Structure 1
Amino acid sequence: MADIRTNYNYEQPRPGKITLTELRDNVWEYENDWNKSLFDCCTDAKICFCAFVCPWCFWCELFSRAGECLCTPIFVPLATLTLRTKLRTGFRIKGTVANDCVITTFCSPCASIQLLNELNAQGL
């Protein structure tokens, strides 16, 4: 019998490869919550001190840990907002862009500490 060729690629799954097993009704319904509340920012005094006293240094470290250029918070307006939205959508955490905007505008150090806690919880 002749070989039948198809356009399908039967590749074995590789470790670390994400596969979608079921379709969701609404892809924008996120299922996760933040690992720590916004107001858990003062549980570690050293981190709290750094975030409130020297936010630029704290932001540079945070952006570097998130895989972004460490100079981003210095040169890009609203950089903390964009990082919060990126991490929230990447980790499928419930929330909205409007909520991210309000939190990063009025309590940027607390939001930054929450982002650091989330990166730590995710092992990054």
Structure 2
Amino acid sequence: MYSKPEDGSATTAFAMQGQAPLAAWSTGLFDCFDDCGNCFVTWLCPCITFGQIAEIIDRGSSSCGTSGALYALVMLLTECNCIYSCFYRAKMRSQYGLQEKPCPDCLVHFFCEPCALCQEYRELKKRGFVMNIGWHANMERQGHTPAATMPPHMYPGMTR
């Protein structure tokens, strides 16, 4: 049931489904000079940058150290760590409604792994995350208090 809008332009699949169009990345794939420090760290040891990204994307369910170690293990055993990291790019795009540009996620990571990690890192920084403090500290910093750790108040049972 496609209908052309009154202004004569074609509608997209997103507009037809009532969804918002996907947003562009805040920085380009090769804008590494926006954060030279992270670029340097990523070229030397990409597992650090990946671990920081994965902890934020996983919303604290995995730690930076665990994700970074798994990335390093995949890199040492298979030399194809891009397969693992491209899934996080897809997950990040899904969470933040980002476009799959300049090409599919797996190709971006296969041909430009360090640049892809740097772009994801910069995107999260631009969204207000302090990357070196982790998910839980970022939530506290943003004013999201964690659930109370005290048990609920128990009312006394029946009395005579």
TM-score between both structures, scaled by the size of structure 2: 0.54
> Offset of 1:27 from its aligned partner?
6.6
* C-alpha distance 26-94 of structure 1, shift in aligned 2 (>3 A): farther
Structure 2 counterparts to residues 21-100 of structure 1, below 5 A: 24-26=15-17, 30-66=21-57, 67=59, 69=62, 70=64, 71-72=66-67, 73-74=71-72, 78-95=83-100, 99-100=104-105
Equivalenced residue count is 101
Compute the displacement of 1:29 (Å).
7.2
**Which amino acid letter does the alignment assign opposite residue 33 of structure 1?**
A
Q: TM-score if structure 1 supplies the norm length?
A: 0.68
- Which structure has more relative contact order (CA 8 Å, sep 6+)? It is 1
Q: Considering only CA atoms, is the larger Rg found in Structure 1 or Structure 2? A: 2
Q: Percent identity?
A: 25
Q: One-letter code of the match for 1:64?
A: E
How far did 1:24 drift? Answer: 4.3
- Structure with the bigger percentage of helix: 2
CA RMSD of aligned residues (A): 2.5
Q: Unaligned 5+ residue runs, structure 2?
A: 1-13, 75-80, 130-160
